[in-house]
Amino acid sequence: MKLITFGEVMLRLSPPGVDRFTQTDSLTMHFGGTEANVAVSLAQFGMQAAHVTRFPDHALGRSAAGYLRKYGVDTQHIQYGDGRLGLYFLETGAGSRASQIIYDRVDSAFARIGANSIDWETVLSGASWFHWTGITPALSQGAADCLLAGIQTANRLGIPVSADIVYRSNLWQYGKTPQEIMPALTQGCTLVLGSKNLFSDLYGVVGSTFQESGRALMKRFPNVRYITDTKRRSISASHNQLAAKLFDGETVYKSRTHDIKSITDRIGTGDAYMAGLIYGLLTFNDLQRTVEFGAAASALKHTIPGDANLATISEVETLANGDSSGKLKR
């Protein structure tokens, strides 16, 4: 199966370990981006995953593409051009001290992508799935228009489309609001990750429960077959509890709660969940097993440094089946 993701990849710079920015004179590099993280995770599950983006035409852009290839992601549709590579700086928290992120991504090469930059008919030919997030249309009108063309092409070709409709208000700086842009994009989706509060803010869809707001969203966007969300309890920066739920319009399937007591890296855990869910929907004929697999994939990502989940199928299934012992494998 061939899966396509579309979005920006950035360079992450972090102090070593749990050092503060004020303590360090060196920064560790990782590449990552929410949609690309999904592609990397699916490639680790043995699927054919391709990421579509636009990089600056210099060494950092080529290095970012090399990172994706290293983890099995197809990069043949990546474009190169003017602009810069987006950056973000992460200070990892510990105990009662929260992590913090500083973004530096204005006028990136990806933000300069045009509405007609991608030949979506070619990119999506033979694809089994297309994935995007609310980060992409927030970056520029060109990125939003290019994404819409991709979704419409996927719809014409009968390819399922998933979206994590994450909303970050500080990214919407080009004169449009998410309420103006997001509905047309969501119209073409099969699977939507979001909360009832987010559905209300973005689409004016109101419900007192996850089920009620889910049904209302499905009524407004008839293509949507599945709605999902995760629930996180942050006991400290190092200790979280995580569970997930998946709604098919009739039944809510809930995962077990994962008690994650020693977090190595919190970044990309939602992407790991979405990748696990996509894998389950394409592989299992069992929605309960699918949501358990997604939640376990997310829980495991908390133990892996960097943006992307590098867990294997067997590791995810072991945790999904209730074995959280971490027993040495020989």
Q: Averaged over 28-51, what is the pLDDT?
A: 97
Q: Is pLDDT of 93 > 80?
A: yes
- What b/e readout covers 70-95, taking b as 16+ CB neighbours within 10 angstroms? ebbbbbebbbeeebbbbebbbbbbee
Residue 95 falls inside a structural domain: yes
> Which candidate, 43, 116, 44, 106, places its Cα nearest to that of 79?
116
Q: How far apart are CA 327 and CA 83, in angstroms?
A: 47
Strands (E), 248-324: 252-254, 258-260
- Confidence band, pLDDT 50/70/90 cuts, at residue 325: confident
Residue 314's pLDDT is: 97
Model pLDDT for residues 110-154, shown as the tens digit of each residue: 999 999 999 999 999 999 999 999 999 999 999 999 999 999 999
Q: Averaged over 300-311, what is the pLDDT?
A: 96
Q: Averaged over 50-73, what is the pLDDT?
A: 98
Alpha-carbon dihedral of residues 153, 151, 207, 284, nearest 10 degrees? 80
> Which candidate, 86, 68, 85, places its Cα nearest to that of 77?
68
Domain membership of residue 145 as a residue range: 2-319
Number of domains the chain is built from: 1
Residue 196 falls inside a structural domain: yes
User: What CATH code is carried by the domain that includes residue 37?
Assistant: 3.40.1190.20
Residue 170's pLDDT is: 84
Average pLDDT, the chain: 96
Residue 298's pLDDT is: 98
The two tokens of residue 276 are: 């696990």
Q: Is pLDDT of 168 > 90?
A: no
Residue 327 falls inside a structural domain: no
Model pLDDT for residues 281-293, shown as the tens digit of each residue: 999 999 999 999 9
Residue 326 falls inside a structural domain: no
Strands (E), the chain: 2-6, 10-14, 28-32, 48-52, 54-56, 79-81, 87-91, 100-104, 129-133, 161-164, 191-193, 226-236, 239-247, 252-254, 258-260
Residue 324's pLDDT is: 82
Q: How far apart are CA 233 and CA 131, in angstroms?
A: 27
- Confidence band, pLDDT 50/70/90 cuts, at residue 36: very high
Three-state DSSP class for 37? Answer: helix
Residue 169's pLDDT is: 84
Instruction: Specify whether the CB–CB gap between 88 and 30 falls below 8 A.
Output: no
The two tokens of residue 129 are: 């799935």
Residue 8's pLDDT is: 98
Residue 324 falls inside a structural domain: no
Q: Measuring CA to CA, how many Å separate 17 from each of 14, 24, 33, 93?
A: 8, 10, 21, 9
Residue 51 falls inside a structural domain: yes
Three-state DSSP class for 56? Answer: strand
Model pLDDT for residues 260-282, shown as the tens digit of each residue: 998 999 999 999 999 999 999 99
Residue 215 falls inside a structural domain: yes
Q: Averaged over 58-66, what is the pLDDT?
A: 97
Three-state DSSP class for 204? Answer: coil
CA angle at residue 265 from 164 to 241, to 5 degrees? Answer: 70
Residue 203's pLDDT is: 96
Q: How far apart are CA 35 and CA 296, in angstroms?
A: 19
Residue 132 falls inside a structural domain: yes
> Which candidate, 48, 21, 17, 49, places its Cα nearest to that of 36?
49
Q: Is pLDDT of 329 > 90?
A: no
Q: Is pLDDT of 328 > 90?
A: no
- For the residues of 62-89, what is the DSSP string, one character each? HHHHHHHHHTT-B-TT-EEESSB--EEE
Give the predicted TM-score (pTM) of the model.
0.96
Instruction: Specify whether the CB–CB gap between 267 and 318 falls below 8 A.
Output: no
